[in-house]
Structures are given as C-alpha cells and as structure tokens.
Amino acid sequence: MSDLTCEFLNLKLRNPIVLASGILGTSADVLERVARAGAGAVTAKSCGPAPRAGHPNPVAVEWDHGLLNAIGLSNPGAEEEARMLVEARARLEPLGVPLIASIFAGTVAEFGDVARVIAAARPHLIEVNISCPNVADEFGTPFAALCESAAAVTEMVKCAVGDIPISVKLAPNVPNIGRIAAAAVEAGADAITAINTMPGMVIDAEAGRPVLSNRVGGISGPALKPIALRCVYEIARSVRVPIIGTGGVTTGRDAAEMLMAGATAVGVGSAVWTRGVAALGDIAAELAAFMAQEGYRTLGALRGVAL
C-alpha cells in the first residue's frame, strides 16, 4: 500500500492534494465540505484590501481543453475574510486538514496591510498571489513579472505575518520563472505555488466577439498542464523550498506527473468543475493506485524523478 502522507513545511497532510485558490473556497461551510471530500489541505479564495464585486457576467466559459475565467478577484475584503478564516480553521482542525489563506493587493504596501489582517486569523499558510497588476506601476505590470517586484512583495508580506509561513504564487507568462522564484525565496518565501492561470481568449465566431465580458481570461484545465509542468520543473531546479504544483491536474496520473516534476504538493482547481467536489479524494485515490502499480511506496520515492 502506497503512503500518501505529505510533509509540507511544518504541516503534515494526509495526502498531497490541495484545493487551489479561487475554487469553492468562499465560506467555512464549503471549505469543510471539500476537506471531508478528501483534500489534504484547502485554500480559500483570494482576498484583497477592500470588498470587490468582480467582473459582470459572463465570467467563465468551458471550451474544448479546459476553462477560461475572468472572475475579477471578487471578494469580501480582508476584514470579513479574516472572520471567515477563523471559523474555517475551527472546523478544519478536527479533520486534520490545514487551512491556506490567499491574498492579493495593488501595491506593495497594501500587500503588507492585507497580510497583517489575515495573519490575525492564524491560517496555517498564507499564499501570496502576485499575478495581479501593480497599480502603482505606470504600465500596471504584474508583480510576478519582475524579480524586483516579486521580492519586494515577498519581503513586505514576510515582515507582516510573523511566524506564519508564506507561499508566493507565480505566473506562467514570464521569461524566466526560475529566476523569479529564486528572487522570492531570497526575499523570504517559505514555499512557491506554481502556477496561476495563463491569459487567453475565446471568441464566439457567430457573434464575432469575445465570449467573456472582460474579453481576456485565465486558461485552466488540461490545456494548462504542460505549461505548469514546465514551470514546476524549472522552479524545482532553481530553489530548494516546497512547491505546490498547480495547473491542469484532473487525474491521479496528472498529480504523479506534477510530483515527478518536483512538486511537494499538488493543487487542484478546474477538476472540481468537471468531476465535482469528490475530485479531491478521487484524485488522491488514483494517485495511490498509480504509485502501487508502478512500485512507488512513498511520495518521496516519486518526487522529482523527472528532474
């Protein structure tokens, strides 16, 4: 029987399958439901400095190879999110499932402010979504695009959260993701989450216009997996911190590939759309079956074999 227990920083997960941010993590009730469905850890939806409604519908569309979404970072704001996280942690602790919070902001200083509020709720890990635009930058360049801005946000958040570990979430559409990961780690990141969605567009040919109200959205699902694997691989060769490999994982075999590329844990998001909430536990079971079939007794034996 293969052992799926996963050591991630100071946390022990019953399996390496993590609910990704942005999928279902909007309330304590839903996070508990996902935990009971078999997730090893759960990530709440990203929150920012103030409540945000997001983009008008349509904000998501299913296409031939996955999903395209432009939700627009809808969230209740950090203060309300912190209250939800307190309740969520209380519900998750008896289940032995760690809680990961997720934050975003428009400036480096705002990242520190949001991190401070969320840290008071005592999540087990704070994921720092730096793929959003830097509104203080003349061109709105995402923080994840440059080593300097990635490091600046990391350092600010690290100073704000005290003893709570942080994982910096990187974007795939950059020239050298390994260098950006290294800059974040040097600035204090305890872990890396890779990757966020890839910008794309779907056009309604009959209507002659983009389907999403925002025109452009983030590609997720199977189409993203080869990009995510390449990014995790490059990050694993550049830094020596745990990685939550996220992007296109739909089956246990996909999860095995992500671990082989160097991931420590595996984020699952769009699979919930296609397979339901049970996807988290099912993917863990499929991973265990794959490991048994191929002779891997532990995750450590599987991890990084493709490096």
Query: Does the residue 307 lie in any domain?
Result: no
pTM: 0.96
pLDDT value at residue 25: 84
Report, as an integer, the average pLDDT of 184-204. 96
CB distance 10 to 34 below 8 Å: no
- E strand map for the chain: 6-8, 11-13, 17-19, 41-43, 60-63, 66-69, 99-103, 125-129, 166-170, 191-194, 198-200, 203-204, 209-210, 217-220, 243-246, 265-268
CB distance 13 to 38 below 8 Å: no
How many independent structural domains does the chain possess?
1
Query: Does the residue 165 lie in any domain?
Result: yes
**Closest to 67 in 3D by CA, of 101, 104, 23, 19:** 23
Report, as an integer, the average pLDDT of 23-32. 93
Query: Does the residue 111 lie in any domain?
Result: yes
Query: Does the residue 1 lie in any domain?
Result: no
Report, as an integer, the average pLDDT of 102-126. 97
pLDDT grade, residue 171 (50/70/90)? Answer: very high
Query: Does the residue 217 lie in any domain?
Result: yes
pLDDT grade, residue 2 (50/70/90)? Answer: confident
Query: Does the residue 166 lie in any domain?
Result: yes
- Omega within 30 of 0 (cis) for the link into 58: yes
The full DSSP string for 185-220 is: HHTT-SEEEE--PEEE--EETTTTEESSTTS-EEEE
Question: Where does residue 122 fall: left (phi above 0), alpha (psi -120 to 50 degrees), or beta otherwise?
Answer: left
Per-residue pLDDT tens over the stretch 136-168: 665 578 899 999 999 999 999 999 999 999 999
Domain of residue 138, CATH code: 3.20.20.70
Helix (H/G/I), strand (E/B), else coil: 128: strand
Query: Does the residue 258 lie in any domain?
Result: yes
Question: Which tokens belong to 301?
Answer: 């034996």
Question: Which tokens belong to 198?
Answer: 């890839």
Q: Which domain holds residue 210?
A: 6-302
Q: Residue 37 above 80 pLDDT?
A: yes
pLDDT value at residue 232: 98
Per-residue pLDDT tens over the stretch 64-101: 899 998 888 889 999 999 999 999 999 999 999 999 99
pLDDT value at residue 55: 85
Query: Does the residue 48 lie in any domain?
Result: yes
Report, as an integer, the average pLDDT of 279-290. 98
pLDDT value at residue 137: 66
Which residues are the active-site residues?
132
pLDDT value at residue 138: 59
